[in-house]
Each structure stands twice: as C-alpha cells, then as structure tokens.
Amino acid sequence: MNAAATAEDTAAPVLQADAVNAYYGQSHILRNVSIRVMPHEAVSLMGRNGMGKTTLLRTLMGLLRPRSGAIRLRGADMTGERASAVARAGIAFVPEDRGVFPNLTVEENLTFAARPGRDARADWTLERVYGLFPRLAERRSNWGNQLSGGEQKMLAIGRALMTNPEIILLDEATEGLAPKVRDEIWATLRLITEAGIASIVVDKNLDDLFELAHRHMVIVKGEIVFDGPTAALRADEALIHRHLGV
C-alpha cells in the first residue's frame, strides 16, 4: 500500500515540533518539547497522568496555541494555525473521550467531515472503514450516544481515517476498554500503520506499544526525557520503573 512513497517522502519528517513551550494559564505544561515523526511511522508517547501527553497532542493539533517554538507538517509552518487548518493540512486527532457526536448517527459521524487525501486512489472510504470495523457497519444508523465505549473508540478512529490524514494523534488508545476490544484496537492500529499512515499513540500498555511502534518517547513534567527505539527503552529499567510505573 505504501509502495508509492517517494524518496523525498521518507527523508523529511511528516510532523516536526521544535522547542515548543505551552501553558495552561500560569502553569508551564510543555517545556522545550522537540519531536519528529517520519512518514508511515508509528511512535508511542508515554508518561504518567498529568505529565503533558494530552497537552502535547492538543498543541500539535492546534487546539492549544504554543507560547514559543514551531510546529511543521511536511515542512510547512503550522505554528499558531487553527485546528481546522491543521486538520485540513493532514493531522487527525482521536481524543481520550473519543469526541463522538451523540446527536449524529454513526454514518453521519463518519461522513460529515470526510475529505479526500493527497492521493485519492488510496483514500479511506465509508466501505473501507466499515470493512475495518464491521461492528460500525451493523450500527450505522444508531445515534452516537447509543454506542459502547469500544464502538465509540472505533468510530472516532474511523472518523479520523475518513479525513484521509497523513498522521493520526491517538490519545489513550485503549484506556477503559475490555481486553478483547483492546486487542481489536491494537490490530487495527497495526493495519493503519501498514497502510502508510503515521501516528503518535498514547497508551499505558507497554507491551502493546512495543508491538506497534519501533520508536518511543517518554514525557515527564512537560519534558521529553527519552526518545529512542524499543530496545533502548527496554534496557533502561530504571526509567521504566520511575516514569512509567510498571
């Protein structure tokens, strides 16, 4: 599926943040955060609650304006752009609470914001999303608030795919879901990665993250304290114990 990727695509990061600082009111949440995500790459973002994971995703999405630093998507400066502009440029967001619209049907949730991507031939369509999540096809005319937590998460992921993004930001991908549903979500995420969509995935299950992503970032009190491959993280038991609480 991703064979069409050109040499230029793989050389430059799809998403890049340089020395980003972000605040909520007076509190300094992100401190000089620099990250880069290459095309087709799944990267994990880990850290305890309250360390700034969600804030980082929201800042990348344009939902929170950074006080300093720069955010680039495929080299284009997105710093301070509205979230809608960031979304149209190719970033999609699946929030922890899923953000499913309760007063829209499943199908309306999927289609109302759908957009073609850069390469229309590889586009995600309603059929393809229903193929990925047959449960959603069954419930296509149900209202958003009639879904279980797992179905809502699938709907939120499907909705993100329908905007045909270059990169998906997933906050707490499997939090609060039953183990069976979790496995389903992880399998889907691996499929999406194989389909060539880059992602930053926040979750608490290290083993699943290790299986999905080859590079991992650990955030502690708003600073990225680790950014490296699976083997390096596995080796650093002190880091895992102290900051990831396993």
Question: For binding to another protein (CB under 8 A), which residues are involved?
Answer: 48-50, 61-63, 82-85, 87-88, 92-93, 95, 99, 101-104, 108, 111-113, 115, 146, 148-149, 159, 163, 175-179, 182, 205, 207, 245
Least CB distance to another protein at residue 188 (A):
17
Q: Which structure tokens are listed for 5?
A: 């990727």
Which residue intervals of 123-178 are DSSP H helices? 126-132, 134-138, 149-162
Q: What angle do CA 32, 33, 35 make, to 5 degrees?
A: 145
Determine the straight-line distance between the first and last CA of the chain, rounded to whole angstroms: 36
Residue pointed to by tokens 């998906």: 168
Sequence-separated (6 or more) residues with CB below 8 Å from residue 190: 211, 212
Among residues 40 and 182, whose Cβ is nearest to another protein? Answer: 182
Among residues 23 and 101, whose Cβ is nearest to another protein? Answer: 101
Among residues 155 and 233, whose Cβ is nearest to another protein? Answer: 155
Among residues 83 and 195, whose Cβ is nearest to another protein? Answer: 83
Least CB distance to another protein at residue 163 (A):
6
What are the C-alpha distances in Å from 239 to residues 22, 49, 147?
A: 24, 16, 38
Least CB distance to another protein at residue 174 (A):
9
Give the count of beta carbons closer than 10 Å to the beta carbon of residue 231: 10
Residue 228 dihedral angles phi and psi, to the nearest 5°: -170, 180
Least CB distance to another protein at residue 221 (A):
9
Q: What are the residues facing 215 on neighbouring strands? A: 43, 229
Least CB distance to another protein at residue 240 (A):
13
Least CB distance to another protein at residue 101 (A):
4
Among residues 183 and 194, whose Cβ is nearest to another protein? Answer: 183
Among residues 8 and 179, whose Cβ is nearest to another protein? Answer: 179
Q: Strand locations in the chain, DSSP E?
A: 15-24, 27-37, 42-46, 68-73, 76-77, 91-94, 167-170, 198-202, 215-220, 223-229
